[in-house]
Structure formats: C-alpha cells, structure tokens
Amino acid sequence: MTELLYLDDSYLAAFDAIVTAVEPDGVVLLDRSAFYPTGGGQPHDLGALVAGSQRLPVLNVTKRGADTLHQIDPACGLPQVGAPIRGEIDWERRYTLMRMHSALHVLCGVVFREFGALVTGGNMGVDKARMDFELEDLSAERVAHIEAVANAVIASGRPIRWRSLPRDEAFQIPDLIRTKINLLPAHITEVRVVEIEGLDLQADGGTHVHNTREIGGLQVVGTRSKGRINKRLEIALTPAQGSVAEGDV
C-alpha cells in the first residue's frame, strides 16, 4: 500500500520514500509517493526517482489496488528494494494540471448554477481540457456568458479546500449527490471532497490549487454537440486577467 502524499499536500514537488518492491519490467513501488497516478480524468505526473547518483526518469504512473506504480525504463537500471529514494515531480506539468483541474471544477459549478446542467464526462490534458454537460442549448451567447462568469469567479480569489469525510456524512451533502457519489463502491468508507467556496463541492481524488486566482483564467476554445442534451465545452488556461506586467509596478 502506498501512502498518497498528494491527497493532503498537492504542492509537494519532492519527497523521500523507501523502495518496497521492484518488478523486472521497471515498475517501482514506494511506501509513500507524491506522484499522481492517472485517474479521475487527471493524467499522471512525470518526474524522476533519485537513488544516490542514479537518476531514473518516471515515464508513467498508474494505480493497482492501493499501490502506486512508478514506471521507469529498466535499461536505466533498477533501484534496490529497501533503498531510500527521492521522488521529484515535474512541477511545471503538475502545477498546470492542478490549475486545469480546478478550472474544470469552476466550470462545473458555473454551468450548474447558471443552467442547472449536470456533468456527463470530462478529461484533461496539459494544453486543454473538456467537459460534457447535460445541456440542450449551447449558443455562442451562452458560451460567452459561461466564460465571463467563470473568469469572474476565478478572479474573485475563492479558496479551494479538500478534506476526507466519513461516507455517511458525505451522503448528507446535497451538492455531492449531483456528482453521482452514489456510484462509489460500498467498501469505500471515507470520501474525499474538494470544495470551491460558495460554488462547487465534489467527491474528488485529484490535485488542486489553493485559490481560484492561481488558475489565472480560462478560455472556451471549442464546443461540440455530442447529442440533443449533451454538449461539450473545451477549455484552455490563460494567464491571470488584468495582471500587472513586470516593470509596471
């Protein structure tokens, strides 16, 4: 079992751990890890495992049961079981994904508040992300409205918080019901929730920024009809709006 360090501290860019298992194909298991494994629509981290003078690039990160699997190239050499190791996250990539993930939650909250539309699916990459909504009408006017409200929320600097709740308690939060919390397998006794103050609350295992202002801004870069009541919004991140250029202060 891997202790998932990113659940509490999404800003942890490096960490120390012990190698607990090494598989011949280059899969390395650690007792604890800040590497995010692909899941919940968020892609895995990249980075390196550093063992003494050995620097082993991490090519992929996945989950297997309660374990995080760090894929390295076995041709680079394998670390020893029991050896101390330093994990280093490719921070530029991860921080972009944190901003993107939080931007998608802003989008969910805004589309739900403005139109009462639920999310039917979504996915994110470093350059863009998409989210599908139960929406019948997605006119250019509506898209512009969604974008403007989302950017106003982002600029207002709302705190983003996460915590774990006992399952029963989570089931009593009306906002969580709409995000299909009832699909959670029965053996899950704790539910991690991510809240954008006053806007959005979701059961979520991903990594987020602490404040909406860190997102910068978002731009709707594409729309697509996926059916009569299923519309896709594609977004990209933009730098903070109205930010002061260097030297202006």
Q: Which of 47, 109, 206, 217 binds Zn ion (CB under 5 A)?
A: 206
- The yes or no reply on residue 204 touching Zn ion (CB under 5 A) is yes
**Residue with smaller CB distance to Zn ion, 37 or 206:** 206
Nearer to Zn ion, 45 or 204 (CB): 204
What is the closest distance, in whole angstroms, from the C-beta atom of residue 108 to Zn ion in the complex? 8
Cα(247)–Cα(13) distance, integer angstroms = 29
Q: Which residues have CB under 8 Å from 212's CB, separation 6+?
A: 102, 106, 153, 154, 155, 156, 157, 158, 160, 196
Q: Toward Zn ion, which CB reaches closer, 5 or 97? A: 97
Mask 156-195, x = binds Zn ion (CB under 5 A)?
----------------------------------------
Nearer to Zn ion by Cβ, of 48 and 101: the residue is 101
Which residue has the closest beta carbon to Zn ion? 204
Residue 74 β-bridge partners? none
Q: Identify residue 116 by its one-letter amino acid code.
A: G
Give the neighbor-by-neighbor strand order of the sheet with 200-203: 160-166, 190-196, 200-203
* Total chain residues near Zn ion (CB under 5 A): 2
In whole angstroms, give the CA distance from residue 17 to residue 15: 7
Residue window 86-125: x/- pattern of binding to Zn ion, with contact defined by CB under 5 A: ----------------------------------------
Task: Report CA torsion sign: 96, 97, 103, 107.
Answer: positive
Which residues of the chain form contacts with Zn ion (CB under 5 A)?
Answer: 204, 206
